[in-house]
Every structure is written in structure tokens, then in C-alpha cells.
């Protein structure tokens, strides 16, 4: 099977181009009310951003969420979990409900209500940049719009930080509510973990078993380049030390449907958000939330290339003995000398595993012609250069890569505090530094400060990230979703990844427009439609023809 037999329509195969996106749950803390209900506080983040958008930007705050095609209990291995047997955390196909008791557990409902006509417990928004901002498992979550390359994935992921920062600024000025702080990290240091997920479009023709076999060794070792670093060992962080990944210790299974308990390296949720018999959405839950542009870029770019290897039948034949334990060991070894045992008897370090994948990916990209500096796809060559650079630098030790590999950069900062103040790894002050690293406020977040000084490499400029927080990507269906919300704010009732639901004026009938092909609804295909039809009536007539009455 050739490498051109797979891949979404319109994207060259064999390299780093692929429909992809991110989901980030932010850590949340109210300094003036440490025991406040986190779900309610998270709803205030959503409501505050809606209020800001409506009142200061003179635009719609966004649309609600269309749950019609949500299928969170369908398993990629060929079955569905019965609803009565599913853990409540899996039931993401229904609007979350905040009870009166939950509201009361914040400060008291009267103290937390926002002024104006905005409801105090807003849980879901689809934004004008095509993203989703909502409450998920007691955290505010930003799900980026779909993009087609790893550089755009970095930009629209970082746009989420801009979005939630705007809400944080609004809340900081609310004298009754008091400030709410948000952190782009994955654990509270007390045994709880929250996710930073990735999504990749994969042809359904690729057997899921091939994905499991090809991705497991890669995910076990990918953290060496993409980990965000963490103070403390073990889920509760009580064992003194520093490790590579925020998330590794929280994984307990190799394959499974769950995301908040008994977390698996390979998640089996089969919720394609696209043409179901043509594509699957690979839901990746093993990654850390990255503040480093390069770490995030490598996370998306290298994973996309390994998926290309699997689709082409060219993935390295590697199987790890006890991959969950191997993931933990590699995360705990900042010296990068730990080896993992393969089923064929060999022992390889995490870096050696990554070199195997790199060499296979470089060969496939060269054979497919997508990595050529002239005539390539414009992205794969850059991913390969950074991948090779990271592995080469890490072979010399973490400090050689501390300008762009996030866990190494954080380790350098922490070691500076340790040397200056004589701190042991179990000193609570180091835990506070760890948390401050990921603060979304640029004046407080250590990662933001390093980026602004040039001590942490930047791939996307702030002006482009700010633009991504407002406008959707031009080359996916996110363009149609976002522009519909921007142009017709009063007439978009709801939206999802694969639909936009319009509410025509003077009609009780909603008009649902499916958007199941991720590479349709682009600016090239729909911009003229928006420009030529400024009224919703004319727009829907041109879009739907006789189907619209």
C-alpha cells in the first residue's frame, strides 16, 4: 500500500500535514475562596468571556453547543458501553448541569452573579474563531478549531490562553467575585490530574489494532521531547524529585475508553466528528499541556508523522514489555539513561526509541517527496529538523535543550532556586514555582516571561496568536463555523464540530447545516458566499437553495 492511498482529501500523505486540534483543561483556583465549587468558578470564566465579547467587542459571545452527533460511549474496538454502566464522566453528550447546592458551595449565589442579563452559570460557548469554550469536569476547557498543520496547531492552542486570560482579567476587576487564576498545567499536586488532549483525523480503513501497536512505544517515549516537567513523583507527588511529564504517573492501562480514571495510553473513544464510515478521530490523552511553542509543535508534528507511518504500513515493529511501567520509569529519569525492555529482548533508552521512529519518518517523507525544501508540503521538513535537533541535544543532557524543551527549561529554573536557597525537592516553595510556571497571566507565568525574554524559543508571534483568538483557520470547516457566528450572531442557535444550526428570523424551524467533511467549508470555498449575502435570509437561500423556506 503506497503512502498516497490514505489521508484526508486535499492533504498530501507521508508527512506532518493532517487535520488536528487540541483540548486544554485549565487548572483553576480562587485565592479568596480556596474551597469554592470548581464547576461554578469554571462557569464564571465562560460567562466572563461571553460578557467581554458582547459588551466590549460589540459582538455575539458565541453559540451554544449542538450535542446531536455526540457518541462518547462508542468504543473503537467495535462495541458501545451501555449508558447505565458508564461512569458519569464519560457522558459528555449532554449539557453539564450545575445544581443549586453547587452554586451555594461557591461563595453564596448572590455574591457570584454577574451584572446584566448574562446567566450566572454559562457552561458552553462556540466562539467566532471556531473554538469551543466550556466547562468540563470542573475545569474551564478550550478546544481549538481544526487546523491542518502543527504550526497552526500551536497558534490556535495558544489562542486559548489569550481567551481565558481575557476572562481572568474581567474577573480580577469584579469586587464581589474576586480573582480566579488559571494554570495551563495537568495536576494540582494533590493527586488530581486534568487533561490536555490532542485529536487527529485518521482514515477508518486503518485497523485500530495497527494504531495501538504503532503508537504505544512512541507515546511512551514522546514525553522526552514534549513533557512539561513536574515537581514530585507519584500521583500525589509526595515522593521528592522532579520528573519529565506532568501526566505520566496518572496512566494505569494500555488501552481503554476512560479519560478520567484508569487512564489508558491509547484511548478508544470512537467519536469521529466527521464522515463516520470514512474517518475516525484519534483521541490522544497522554500529552502534557505545553507552554513551550517548540514542545507543542513537536507533540503535534511528530505524532502526525507517526500516523503517516502507520497508514503507509511503514511503522517500526517495536513492542514494549509493560508499557505503562515503562512510561513511568522514563518520566522519572531526567538523566535520560533509563532503558525499557522490548518483547524481542532488546533494551532501548527513550531517546533510542525516538531515533527509530525519526529515521522511519524521515525515510517515508523523503520517499513521498513531502520533506523537500522546494516542492515539499512546507511543514514536514521543519518538523524533521526540530525532531532531530531535540534528540541530538538531549543526548548531550537536558541543559543542552533547555531553550526549547519545556521540562528541561523548567528544570533549569528550579535548579536555580535550589542552588540559590539550598532547597530540597520536597520543599513546598518548589511546588509553588512549578505552578507559577503555567500561570496564564504573562506578568506572573514564568513560561510567559521566558518567552518574552527570548529564553524560551518562540515559533508564533503574539500578534498572530491574538489574531487566532478571534479569527478561525482558513483551510478547514472551522472557517465556516466561526464566520457564521461572526456574521450572523443572532441567527446561530448552536454549533458543533460537524454542524451549524441556524435560527432563521420569523421562523420556528431550526436549520441544521452538516459540516462532516473537515476540509470543506474553508475560506476558499465559502468566503464569497458570506461577502455576497450579508443578510441571513439571502445567505441561507444561497447555501441551501430550495431546502430553505
The catalytic residues are: 136
Q: Kindly write down the DSSP assignment for every residue of 45-67, as one continuous string.
A: HHHHHHHHHHHTS-S---BEE--
Q: Do the Cβ atoms of 182 and 164 come closer than 8 Å?
A: yes
Per DSSP, the residues of 228-279 read --EEEESTT--EEEEES-SSGGGEEEEEES-SSSSEEEEE-B---SS-TTTE
User: Which residues, 6 or more positions from 381, have their beta carbon under 8 angstroms from its beta carbon?
Assistant: 365, 371, 372, 373
Cβ–Cβ < 8 Å for 445, 190: no
Task: Give me the residue label for grid cell 480580577.
Answer: 172
Non-local (6+) Cβ contacts of 386 within 8 A are 294, 297, 298, 301
Alpha carbon of 138 to those of 87, 131, 144, 262: distances in Å? 16, 19, 19, 19
d(CA 465, CA 477): 20
Residue 453: how many other CB atoms lie within 10 Å: 8
Distance (Å, whole) CA 281 – CA 79:
16
CA distance 482 to 60: 11
C-alpha cell at position 488: 450572523
Contacts of 539 (CB under 8 A, 6+ apart): 487, 488, 529, 530, 533
What are 334's strand-pairing partners? none
Cα separation, 30 vs 123, whole angstroms: 18
Residue-wise over 147-179: b if at least 16 C-beta within 10 A, else e?
A: bbbbbbbbbbbbbbbbbbbbbbebbeebeebbb
Amino acid at each position: 500500500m503506497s503512502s498516497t492511498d490514505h489521508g484526508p482529501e486535499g492533504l498530501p500523505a507521508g508527512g506532518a500535514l493532517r487535520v488536528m486540534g487540541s483540548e486544554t483543561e485549565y487548572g483553576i483556583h480562587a485565592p479568596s475562596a480556596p474551597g469554592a465549587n470548581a464547576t461554578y468558578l469554571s462557569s464564571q470564566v465562560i460567562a466572563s468571556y461571553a460578557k467581554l465579547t458582547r459588551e466590549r467587542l460589540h459582538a455575539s459571545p458565541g453559540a451554544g453547543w449542538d450535542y446531536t452527533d455526540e457518541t462518547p460511549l462508542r468504543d473503537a474496538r467495535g462495541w458501545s458501553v451501555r449508558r447505565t454502566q458508564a461512569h458519569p464522566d464519560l457522558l459528555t453528550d449532554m449539557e453539564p448541569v450545575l445544581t443549586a447546592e453547587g452554586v451555594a458551595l461557591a461563595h453564596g449565589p448572590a455574591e457570584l452573579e454577574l451584572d446584566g442579563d448574562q446567566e450566572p452559570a454559562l457552561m458552553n460557548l462556540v466562539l467566532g474563531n471556531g473554538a469551543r469554550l466550556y466547562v468540563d469536569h470542573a475545569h474551564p476547557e478550550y478546544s481549538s478549531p481544526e487546523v491542518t498543520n502543527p504550526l497552526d496547531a500551536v497558534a490556535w492552542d495558544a489562542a486559548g490562553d489569550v481567551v481565558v486570560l481575557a476572562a481572568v482579567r474581567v474577573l480580577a476587576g469584579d469586587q464581589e467575585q474576586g480573582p480566579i487564576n488559571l494554570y495551563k498545567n495537568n495536576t494540582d499536586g494533590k493527586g488530581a490530574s486534568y487533561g490536555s488532549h490532542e485529536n487527529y483525523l485518521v482514515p477508518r480503513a486503518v485497523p485500530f489494532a495497527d494504531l495501538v501497536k504503532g503508537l504505544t512505544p512512541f507515546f511512551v517515549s514522546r514525553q522526552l521531547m514534549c513533557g512539561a516537567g513536574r515537581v514530585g513523583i507519584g500521583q500525589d507527588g509526595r515522593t521528592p524529585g522532579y520528573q519529565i511529564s506532568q501526566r505520566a504517573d496518572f496512566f494505569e492501562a494500555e488501552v481503554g475508553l476512560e479519560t478520567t480514571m484508569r487512564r489508558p495510553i491509547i484511548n478508544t473513544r470512537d467519536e469521529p466528528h466527521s464522515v463516520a464510515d470514512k474517518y475516525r478521530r484519534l483521541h490522544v490523552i497522554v500529552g502534557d499541556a505545553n507552554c513551550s511553542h517548540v514542545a507543542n509543535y513537536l507533540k503535534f508534528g511528530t505524532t502526525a508523522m507517526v500516523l503517516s507511518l502507520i497508514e503507509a504500513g511503514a511503522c517500526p515493529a517495536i513492542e514494549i514489555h509493560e508499557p505503562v511501567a515503562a512510561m513511568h520509569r522514563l518520566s522519572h529519569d531526567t538523566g535520560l539513561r533509563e532503558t525499557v525492555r522490548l518483547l524481542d529482548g532488546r533494551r532501548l533508552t527513550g531517546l533510542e526509541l525516538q531515533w527509530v521512529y525519526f529515521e522511519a519518518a524521515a525515510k517515508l517523507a523523503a520517499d513521498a517527496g513531502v520533506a523537500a525544501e522546494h516542492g515539499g508540503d512546507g511543514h514536514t521538513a521543519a518538523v524533521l529538523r526540530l525532531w532531530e535537533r531535540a534528540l541530538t541535544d538531549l543526548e548531550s543532557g537536558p541543559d543542552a535543550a533547555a531553550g526549547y524543551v519545556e521540562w528541561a527549561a523548567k528544570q533549569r529554573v528550579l535548579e536555580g532556586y535550589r542552588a540559590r536557597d539550598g532547597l530540597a525537592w520536597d520543599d513546598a516553595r518548589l511546588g509553588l514555582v512549578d505552578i507559577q510556571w503555567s500561570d496564564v497571566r504573562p506578568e506572573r507565568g514564568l513560561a510567559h516571561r521566558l518567552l518574552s525574554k527570548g529564553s524560551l524559543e518562540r515559533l508564533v508571534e503574539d500578534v498572530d496568536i491574538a489574531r487566532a483568538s478571534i479569527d478561525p483557520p482558513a483551510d478547514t470547516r472551522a472557517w465556516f463555523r466561526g464566520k457564521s457566528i461572526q456574521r450572523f450572531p443572532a441567527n446561530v442557535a448552536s454549533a458543533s464540530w460537524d454542524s451549524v444550526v441556524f435560527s432563521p428570523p420569523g421562523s420556528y424551524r431550526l436549520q441544521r447545516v452538516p459540516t462532516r467533511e473537515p476540509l470543506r467549508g474553508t475560506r476558499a470555498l465559502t468566503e464569497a458566499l458570506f461577502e455576497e449575502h450579508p443578510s441571513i435570509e439571502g445567505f441561507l437561500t444561497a447555501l441551501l437553495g430550495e431546502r430553505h423556506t
